[in-house]
Chains A and B, each alone.
Chain A
Amino acid sequence: MDLKVFAVCKSYGDVEALKYVELKVEKGEFFTLLGPSGCGKTTLLRVVAGLEMADSGMVMLGGEAITWKPANERPVNTVFQSYALFPHLTVLENISFGLISRKIPKAEAIIKAKEMLDLVQLDGFGDRKPDQMSGGQRQRVALARALANEPELLLLDEPMSALDAKLRVQVQIELRQIQQRLEKTFIMVTHDQQEALTVSDRMAVMNVGEVAQMGDVREVYDRPKSKFVADFLQTQNFIEAERVADHRIRTTYGEWAVTDPVPWEKGTVTVRPENLSVTSDSAACTFKGRVETSLYRGCYQELFLDNGLQVETESVRPFAKGEEVMVNVPQEAVVMLND
Chain B
Amino acid sequence: MTNENKNVPEKDKPDGSYTVFHGALVKKKVLSRRAFSFVSPGFLWSLIFLVIPCLALFAVSFASRGDYGQIEWNFSIDNMKRLAGFGYFGWSADNLLIVWRSIVVAVVTTFLCVVLSYPLAFFLVSRPDKSRTVWLTLLLIPFWTNLVIRTYAWFLALAPNMPLAKLLAEVGAIEPGTALYPSTFAVYIGMVSMFLPFVALPLYTAVEKMDWALVEAARDLYSGGWRVFRHAILPQTMPGLSVGITLTLVPAMGMFVVPDMLGGSRYMLIGNLIQQQFGTSRDWPFGAALSLVLMFLTLSALMASRRHELKKKEA
- Residues of A whose CB lies within 8 Å of any CB of B are 49-51, 70-73, 76-78, 80-82, 84-89, 97-98, 101-102, 145-146, 149
Contact = CB atoms under 8 A, between A and B. Distances in A.
10 contacts: A49-B220, A51-B216, A51-B220, A70-B219, A85-B217, A86-B235, A97-B221, A97-B231, A101-B221, A101-B223
Per CB-CB distance, the 8 closest pairs between chain A and chain B, nearest first, are A98-B221, A84-B217, A84-B213, A101-B222, A71-B219, A88-B235, A72-B222, A101-B223
Contacts of B231: 86, 88-89, 97
Given A84-B216, A85-B217, 17 more contacts: A51-B216, A51-B219, A71-B220, A72-B222, A72-B224, A82-B211, A84-B214, A86-B217, A86-B218, A86-B232, A86-B235, A88-B235, A89-B231, A97-B223, A98-B221, A98-B222, A145-B221
B235 A77 contact: no
B28 interface: no
Contacts of B219: 50-51, 70-72
A280 B214 CA distance: 61
Nearest to A85: B217
B211 A71 contact: no
Interface in B192-226: 211, 213-214, 216-224
Interface of B: 211, 213-214, 216-224, 227, 231-232, 235
A70 B218 CA distance: 12
A255 to B, nearest CB: 56
Contacts of A50: 219-220
A77 B216 contact: no
B217 A80 contact: yes
B221 A80 contact: no
A82 B220 contact: no
Given A82-B213, A84-B211, A72 B220 contact: yes
Contacts of B217: 78, 80, 84-86
Nearest to B221: A98
Nearest to B223: A101
Contacts of A82: 211, 213
B163 to A, nearest CB: 40
Given A86-B214, A101-B227, A78 B235 contact: no
A305 to B, nearest CB: 45
Contacts of A71: 216, 219-220
Contacts of B211: 82, 84
A102 to B, nearest CB: 5
Contacts of B232: 86
B229 to A, nearest CB: 13
A102 B235 contact: no
A232 B247 CA distance: 56
Nearest to A151: B220
A49 B216 CA distance: 10
Contacts of B213: 80-82, 84
A80 to B, nearest CB: 5
Contacts of A86: 214, 217-218, 231-232, 235
Given A98-B222, A101-B221, A149-B222, A80 B216 contact: yes
Given A87-B235, A89-B231, A97-B231, A77 B220 contact: yes
Name the residue among A70, A72, A78 with the largest chain B CB count within 10 angstroms.
Answer: A72
A102 B218 CA distance: 12
A99 to B, nearest CB: 9
Contacts of B227: 101
A145 B231 CA distance: 15
A232 B235 CA distance: 42
Nearest to B312: A88
A106 B211 CA distance: 28
